[in-house]
Structure 1
């Protein structure tokens, strides 16, 4: 009788386990099917742009298929100290989200080093608030987050942001189905950003061509009109002017002709450098004397002074003068009324720093001021400039084994040219500029109340290790 009871109990236990296993398998299959449907909807939203907020639409589909209460997409940034930070640019809130709006919309990884390393390696991260250390744990608790699942977003080999869910009720584990689905969705978002960047790049290229033609026409027409006008005055009767007046008109013709020459030089230099046909003939160059000579020959508004110590550089005289002239012209057009040219040496290189007391470059323009044909749209910009001066200057500096850097120090804008102090022992291979990745202009903070455009450069140094 005892064996019979034990046997019956064992049978019942086995049946119960089978039923539980089948139920769990059925639930897992149902969840897998929901996530697959969500991924299909996510793909459709990102590929076909069926709505004006494709990222939010994709997040809404993903959130409905999981146990999460909030879904988000963030992009990487870099703070002044060089630390990687994050900022949410799209979000979706579940129907059972606790009362109140999400407020944890930006932050730093400085207290989550393990998560940072896993994301950099392309691995998902599961977070339990109870296992976090203070003070980041207190921030999670204040937001009501019990658990979080994060997947990295990559463009090529570069980690640019993250896609994540948060659970505000349970602190259980995320299923492998949810983890795999989130990783796949992160790949879709990365591909979407890459396509958007390429699309906007093509649009910007077409617009840049039109702006370039208009700007070149304007910059050629302005000095050319002055040359023709002044020359016409002299041709119509030079005897009608005093020697002083005639000399002044001739000086104006000369100055405007130089403007034309400099513009054509920049255009030709840019094209030759791009095609690899630019010849560099370096020699020993007395930088202080060159700078004094250039300042005396370039028409610059405001006060200009040359300071420093005699320094010899190994550079092409013609190209070095072109660089310094472009930096002076840039400071005169966009900078303050006081310009200082400093000559010296630093870290084994000869340096020429052109600084002014103007407002400086807007933060969102810093990474693009050396791009071909790029013109800042901020205060003090010149709407009809070609946008070649700084890009040509950096091209030439790098072809001579140097570089140009922008810095903002103590209320002054610094453009520092560095050149070799002496001839290299072997041929110098110029280091070409590294192309950064920018968030598409259409990328917005897609919260429940709309949001505003975010103009930012994604972190370009956080790469897969």
Structure 2
């Protein structure tokens, strides 16, 4: 008999070996109950076996899921690290955990505006920066910052020797943490390890897991925008130069036009005697010639920008062109103290009109910006002719020397002489190079020297 059944019968005061009256019915009852318990035992056994198998299978399944998850996490981490280190722009991984705790303490201390607080307490900003730790960096950032060893970047940051712009960018990052932000972008000027500065665009991102921002793995990407900033500055300078150019053109045209219109109006009357009339007519002719020169420079400058500037090559007598300028434009060009040149014609290869225009611009430049003494020196050899326009004005600053041939660049004139339009030297060098020569500047002892170099004329040019 089933042991459990026998135990239950004994608890009821019954004995399976001494059945009550009607033993046949009692026997059938006991047989049915015993069969039931036997079936229950088998069911329990099967259930226990099934549960045991399920437990082992669940354990195996759990281990398989953990292994798969671990592999996927490892693969994802490897993929992330690969992308991180192969980024073409500089990238840093930074841990802000300690800085976050410091910022939260500031909040509990009653700080309302973090940026204002940093302005009043720069030492606290430096403290927060020193709590940030760089945990990883890629090759591009070491190249950008010119770090000799990658290990030099890793670890806690050193807040000393940071530029004002750099400090401002750090303050903005901490303010993002203060506000609960996870992505910001800011332009700043940083300082490399060698002390040089660079312009950069900083992208700061903190990851988010299950709705919480993790500031222990913030990624900072630095994009070098030095060239872009330089281009923007050049564009601003160009716009400003264009505005100054228009103002200069207006002034340059108005000055001779005022004389032409004024004297022409006076000549309409009968009260001007012959000597005064001759003087006025000469002034009108000179000012009209000056106007013509200005317009010619503007036209040449426009053609040069469009790539349509041309020259008519042939033989040009440099000595004759200098004499012509001295006689024709004596009232608008400086008085030349001396012309030091070989006697007789000085044949060179070029366009006579353009050579004359270059020399006129050089002499006008000397009148506007040079000293009181102007000397023209001409030297020749078998291959070339060199014409130097020299003045004894002050030395041109080194930062200006590199720009004197730039379009629209100009400085203040000497005394009451107004500044020029700012294209004379530019187009003069363009014309010289179109003729196979060049126009250069140098400081020679006490003289500023602009030197035009042209090829010597050949028999073919003379023909």
> TM-score if structure 2 supplies the norm length?
0.52
* 1:403 equivalent in alignment to 2:438: yes
Contact 2:384 2:453 in 1 (8 A): yes
Contact 1:370 1:390 in 2 (8 A): yes
Match of 1:36 in 2: 92
* 1:415 equivalent in alignment to 2:450: yes
**Residue deviations 1:201-228, cap 9 Å, x none?**
2212221221111111111111001100
SS in 1 for 2:422: coil
Distance 1:280 1:317, change over 3 A: same
Match of 2:311 in 1: 280
Determine the C-alpha separation between the residues in 2 that align with 1:381 and 1:347: 43
Contact 1:63 1:94 in 2 (8 A): no
Determine the C-alpha separation between the residues in 2 that align with 1:38 and 1:266: 59
* 1:221 equivalent in alignment to 2:254: yes
Shift of 1:417: 0.3
Match of 1:308 in 2: 341
Larger radius of gyration: 2
Determine the C-alpha separation between the residues in 1 that align with 2:240 and 2:346: 43
Determine the C-alpha separation between the residues in 2 that align with 1:364 and 1:253: 39
Shift of 1:383: 5.4
Which consecutive unaligned segments of at least 5 residues does structure 2 have? 1-80, 97-117, 119-124, 136-141, 147-156, 162-191, 200-218
Match of 2:291 in 1: 260
Match of 1:321 in 2: 356
Determine the C-alpha separation between the residues in 1 that align with 2:301 and 2:274: 41
Determine the C-alpha separation between the residues in 2 that align with 1:207 and 1:65: 45
Shift of 1:95: 5.6
| Equivalent of residue 295 in structure 1, options 317, 326, 329 | 326
Summarize the alignment of residues 180-191 of structure 1 with structure 2, pairs less than 5 Å apart. Answer: 188=223, 191=224
Determine the C-alpha separation between the residues in 1 that align with 2:131 and 2:338: 62
**Residue deviations 1:287-316, cap 9 Å, x none?**
122112212222223443211115321000
Contact 1:338 1:356 in 2 (8 A): yes
Summarize the alignment of residues 55-454 of structure 1 with structure 2, pairs less than 5 Å apart. Answer: 94=158, 188=223, 191-237=224-270, 240-298=271-329, 299-309=332-342, 310-345=345-380, 348-376=383-411, 384-422=419-457
Shift of 1:332: 0.6
Shift of 1:356: 0.3
Match of 2:181 in 1: none
Distance 1:387 1:96, change over 3 A: closer
Shift of 1:385: 2.3
Shift of 1:96: 7.7
Match of 2:13 in 1: none
Distance 1:396 1:96, change over 3 A: closer
Contact 1:334 1:380 in 2 (8 A): no
**Residue deviations 1:372-431, cap 9 Å, x none?**
111125876965521011011111101101110000011100000001113699xxxxxx
Distance 1:214 1:403, change over 3 A: same
SS in 2 for 1:352: strand
SS in 2 for 1:277: coil
> TM-score if structure 1 supplies the norm length?
0.52
Which protein, 1 or 2, shows the higher relative CO under an 8 Å CA cutoff with sep ≥ 6? 1
Contact 1:214 1:384 in 2 (8 A): no
Match of 1:161 in 2: none
Contact 2:249 2:421 in 1 (8 A): yes
User: Which aligned segments of 4 or more residues in structure 1 are displaced greater than 3 angstroms?
Assistant: 32-35, 37-40, 60-67, 93-97, 148-155, 301-304, 377-384, 422-425
Distance 1:352 1:303, change over 3 A: closer
Contact 2:389 2:451 in 1 (8 A): yes
**Residue deviations 1:325-355, cap 9 Å, x none?**
0000000110011101111126932111000
Which consecutive unaligned segments of at least 5 residues does structure 1 have? 1-28, 41-50, 52-56, 76-92, 98-147, 156-180, 426-465
Match of 2:100 in 1: none
Determine the C-alpha separation between the residues in 1 that align with 2:289 and 2:160: 70
Shift of 1:324: 0.2
How many matched pairs?
276
CA RMSD of aligned residues (A): 4.3
